[in-house]
Chain A
Amino acid sequence: MIELKTPLKKEDVLKLKAGDKVVISGTVISARDKAHAFMLSEDFPKAKDAVIYHCGPVIKDGSVISAGPTTSARMSQYTPELIGRYGVKAIIGKGGMDDSVLCALKGRAVYLSATGGAAVTYAQAMKVKSVSKEEFGMPEAMWEFEIRNFPAIVTMDAHGKSLHKKVLEDSGKSFRGMI
């Protein structure tokens, strides 16, 4: 298990390999579709060198109740520009992202998979630090969280390797053999 602390440095990111298990402590910012569009149309300094978490949490009276990852594929279209513009160092989500993102990660950042639906477990490792754009609604607002020993798996590394791509290729062979 590799321990990571934010702010992540380039060398922290470059030493990670697809398949590595990590625990992260420090600060992450939640962002979904609308927040991504916002960060590309306006300046959002908090995203500089940040860890972005694809998550729309349940927050009640300032406490994190339930906060697992959302499907990352929807954010693929925004992500190369997000990494280029803000130097985002890591993205936490589920389901993986496309080849344009794999290319944008090269030498710069990693994609980490969390288990979808394991939302109570993750919530217990998270505290709210602040919130931006609350008017977007609870799921779409950008929540800044303090996290402690948040577990994840490196599934797309900064060296062009993607476990999602491997499963896609292997399952494609099986699929073609069955039709």
Chain B
Amino acid sequence: MITEKATFDLYKKVSTELPTDVMSELVRAHDNEEDGSLGKESLGHMIDNAKKAAELSRPMCQDTGTPFFYVNCPKECSQKEIKEAIEKATAKATEEVPLRPNAVDTLTDKNVGNMPVIHFTEGNELKVGLLMKGGGSENVSTVYKLPDASIGAGRDLEGVRRCVLDAVFKAQGKGCPPYSIGVATGGSIEEAAHLSKMQLLRKVDDINEEKALSEFEEKTLRDVNNLGIGPMGLGGKSTAISLKAAAGNRHPATYFVGISFGCWCMRRGQL
């Protein structure tokens, strides 16, 4: 069973400690940027900030983001009880970490605290993944419908690659690069978007078992970095540190491509 305490601890860790694989990539990117460039300076700020946040146990970013939970539970677990534990932990973390209250009632415009989004699946092992995903990186996330003549994108992986480059070009520095990017195909808008966001849970060194996708990930990441948008969009070699893809089945008539962006402080963790 997942307890309120364990979920609170997960919130605290994810909001205040950058995952080690992300930190390593930022350090590598920092070494790789030209001396004296704004890109190198921005990466220096990011690394310094992540260290301070961990030392002081404070949220790395003022934007709590939206907490996305991915819960895989065995059949004997109660989804209702897990949901209650997550909601209680969310309220406690908002008060005690503290986290910025971030959910706004769209009709009344009142701030109502933080509202986790919880996705359940059933399986043998109890697993919980958490993404705390900022509004800036969510605002540049998008879905394409192929074919798309505006970028010459057909219904194949080359078309998907063009979607990714177009999305990154349009995002520029608005979502706080260097990005982690999740890409997924699917038969419906929400399926492609959901699956692409789940790719952000994957670690930087997680190689896709599907060869066509691992090649796609490698090539597209290289192309993204050749755009030259750079850290914080101020120019440079590091526009993304990670790109992970998944291919969901589609309807014969549909071909959606979901693209989810994570900012440089890719806050993710697991129980």
With A66-B58, A164-B233, A171-B172 known as contacts, the answer to whether A115 contacts B101 (CB < 8 A) is no
List B residues 87-131 near A (Cβ within 8 Å): 98-102, 104, 109-111
Contact with B along A89-117 (1 / 0, CB 8 A): 00000111000000000000000010111
Q: What DSSP secondary structure best describes chain A's contact surface?
A: mixed
Interface: A149 (CB within 8 A): no
- Docked complex: A142-170 residues within 8 A CB-CB of B: 151, 153, 155, 163-164, 166-168, 170
Produce 1/0 per residue, B215-239, CB < 8 A to A: 0000000010011111011110000
With a 10 A CB-CB cut-off, give which of B62, B109, B110 has the most chain A CB atoms: B62
Q: Which interface residue of B49, B56, B151, B264 has the most chain A CB atoms within 10 A?
A: B49
Return B7 CB to nearest CB of chain A, in Å. 20
B166-177, CB under 8 A of A: which get 1 and which 0? Answer: 100100111110
| A153 → B minimal CB distance (Å) | 6
Within 8 A of B (CB), among A65-84: 65-68, 70-71, 73-74
Return the contact of A67 from the options B62, B98, B165, B166 (Cβ within 8 A).
B62
Q: Contact at B228–A66, with CB atoms within 8 Å?
A: no
A120 near B234 with CB under 8 A, answer no
Q: Given the complex, which residues of A lie within 8 Å of B184, measured CB to CB?
A: none
Give the residue of A123, A124, A137 whose beta carbon is less than 8 angstroms from that of B110: A137
27 contacts between A and B (CB under 8 A): A34-B109, A56-B100, A58-B59, A58-B100, A66-B59, A67-B62, A71-B135, A73-B174, A74-B139, A94-B136, A95-B174, A96-B173, A113-B234, A115-B46, A117-B46, A117-B60, A117-B265, A120-B59, A121-B49, A137-B104, A139-B102, A167-B173, A167-B229, A171-B169, A179-B151, A179-B165, A179-B166
Interface contacts beyond A120-B49, A170-B228, A174-B227: sample of 19 additional A-B pairs, CB < 8 Å, sorted by A: A60-B98, A65-B98, A70-B136, A71-B135, A71-B139, A94-B174, A96-B233, A117-B60, A120-B52, A123-B62, A136-B111, A137-B101, A137-B111, A139-B100, A153-B234, A155-B234, A167-B233, A168-B172, A179-B165
